[in-house]
């Protein structure tokens, strides 16, 4: 199944170091199907113009192509408000500035977790420096969030920020329960769904969350574009944080008024080609049965994890039902970077390091891991080649 799908992805026609590419770095970025590449090329070749500001034909085509992305995102994730950003990082920073700056006071509590990506820690630390909010962190125990500790941390909380699916462990957190607990405590909720939307179709309104951030490049779309979904009530509490063209209604020397829709958070020329490309990716993904692929890939990942443990590796991913197909592991003596370079020599791409989650690495007691992450175009043969590559590394380093 994965091999036949590879035909849609031009990059799999190439070789790396004389070997067919086995790409297992999908948690960092996924590959792009030809339809995405073609859509962006066609925009630049035939319809290149700025959006929203002109009545000529090219501008109309550009605007229609770009706004199709927002429309598809609203439909796919059931959200009335979708702000287009440069990615998950900007989306979370937008929430911190446009909502947090205006709705949090000194001493107010924001609850985070030890499992968060740096993009969902640093913006809140920066906000704490500016307005002296209190940050509380829910601990991770045996790869899972301590929900008893969360209940304690929720006392007086105004906002809860939680990663839906861990980029390090692939763990799918019980976000439904976390949102319910947070709402009962009177807190708004931000979900980092960057690692979730590639594997799972999420109904934003049904979750009850107030913000949900994610990126196109994790789900077969272009790099440099993402989105922040916002609940109706949270949207009404937000203020623009970046001024300029397109986010205004009127400008005089005495002052300005702002648009009332999402555009008030999208100052300047947007990521037009990327929006066109993401729309193509969303259309392509609408034909994919994510649930069946998710189950198939999780089965592959569990088999890989089991064999890695037999080969003497320490595996940190739990790979429970619902988790992403991510296998993070270390070798007792071989440095992760050395391991990855030897795999790359065989045409196998994996990720190493702290994965922008240093607090979680500290909790795990390591400086970094090797991470193999599987996606919809991967199959059993990729796993077999990967495991054979592991054996060759072990032989070379023996």
Residues whose CB is less than 8 angstroms from the CB of residue 235 and which lie 6 or more positions away in sequence, other chains included: 80, 81
Catalytic pick from 69, 161, 220, 356? 356
Q: Are 357 and 115 in contact (CB under 8 A)?
A: yes
In this prediction, residues 343-357 reach a mean pLDDT of: 97
Beta bridge partners of 326: 373
The helix, strand and coil proportions of the chain, stated in percent and rounded to the nearest 5, come to 45, 20, 35
Q: How confident is the model at residue 98 (pLDDT cuts 50, 70, 90)?
A: very high
Place of tokens 């490049």: 217
- The answer, yes or no, to whether residue 303 has pLDDT greater than 70, is yes
What pTM was computed for the model? 0.96
Is 35 known to be catalytic? no
What is the average pLDDT score of the chain? 96
Which H helix or E strand runs over 60? helix 57-77
Per-residue pLDDT of 286-300, as tens digits, reads 999 999 999 999 999
CA separation for the pair 195, 199 (Å, rounded):
8
Look up residue 74 and give its two tokens.
């609203």
In this prediction, residues 37-44 reach a mean pLDDT of: 98
The per-residue pLDDT for 1 is 52
| Cα–chain center distance at 71 | 20
Q: Are 198 and 31 in contact (CB under 8 A)?
A: no
Question: DSSP letters along 71-136, please?
Answer: HHHHHHHT-SEEEEESSHHHHHHHIIIIIIHHH--TT-EEEEETT--GGGTHHHHHHHHHH--EEE
Residues whose CB is less than 8 angstroms from the CB of residue 158 and which lie 6 or more positions away in sequence, other chains included: 103, 104, 108, 109, 110, 186, 187, 188
The per-residue pLDDT for 245 is 84
Domains of the chain from N-terminus onward? 2-24+289-397 (3.90.1150.10), 36-285 (3.40.640.10)
Q: How confident is the model at residue 248 (pLDDT cuts 50, 70, 90)?
A: confident
Per-residue pLDDT of 263-282, as tens digits, reads 999 999 999 999 999 999 99
């Amino acid at each position: 199944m994965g091999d036949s799908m590879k035909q849609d992805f031009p990059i799999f026609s190439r070789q790396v170091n004389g070997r067919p590419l086995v790409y297992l770095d999908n948690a960092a970025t996924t590959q792009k199907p030809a339809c995405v590449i073609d859509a962006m090329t066609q925009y630049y070749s035939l319809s290149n113009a700025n959006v929203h500001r002109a009545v000529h034909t090219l501008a109309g085509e550009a605007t229609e192509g770009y706004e199709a992305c927002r429309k598809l995102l609203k439909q796919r994730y059931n959200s009335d408000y979708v702000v287009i950003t440069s990615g998950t990082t900007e989306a979370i920073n937008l929430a911190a500035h446009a909502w947090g700056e205006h709705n949090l006071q000194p001493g107010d509590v924001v609850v985070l977790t030890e499992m968060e990506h740096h993009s969902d820690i640093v913006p809140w630390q920066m906000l704490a420096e500016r307005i002296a909010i209190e940050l509380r962190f829910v601990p991770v125990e045996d790869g899972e969030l301590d929900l008893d500790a969360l209940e304690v941390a929720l006392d007086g909380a105004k906002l809860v920020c939680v990663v839906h699916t861990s980029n390090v462990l692939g763990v799918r957190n019980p976000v439904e329960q976390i949102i319910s607990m947070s709402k009962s405590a009177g807190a708004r909720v931000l979900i980092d769904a960057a690692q979730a939307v590639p594997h799972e179709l999420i109904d934003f309104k049904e979750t009850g969350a107030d913000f949900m951030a994610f990126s196109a490049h994790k789900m077969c779309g272009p790099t440099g574009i993402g989105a922040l979904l916002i609940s109706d009530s949270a949207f009404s509490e937000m203020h623009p944080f970046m001024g300029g063209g397109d986010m205004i209604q009127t400008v005089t020397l005495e002052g300005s008024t702002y648009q009332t829709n999402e555009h008030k958070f999208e100052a300047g020329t947007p990521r037009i080609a990327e929006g066109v490309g993401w729309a193509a990716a969303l259309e392509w993904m609408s034909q994919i049965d994510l649930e069946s692929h998710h189950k198939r890939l999780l089965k592959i990942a569990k088999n890989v994890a089991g064999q890695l443990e037999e080969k003497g590796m320490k595996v940190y991913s739990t790979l429970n039902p619902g988790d992403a197909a991510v296998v993070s592991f270390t070798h007792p003596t071989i440095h992760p970077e050395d391991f990855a370079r030897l795999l790359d020599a065989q045409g196998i791409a994996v990720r190493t390091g702290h994965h922008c989650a240093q607090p979680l690495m500290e909790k795990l007691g390591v400086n970094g891991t090797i991470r193999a992450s599987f996606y919809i175009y991967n199959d059993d043969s990729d796993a077999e080649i990967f495991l054979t590559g592991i054996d060759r590394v072990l032989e070379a380093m023996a």
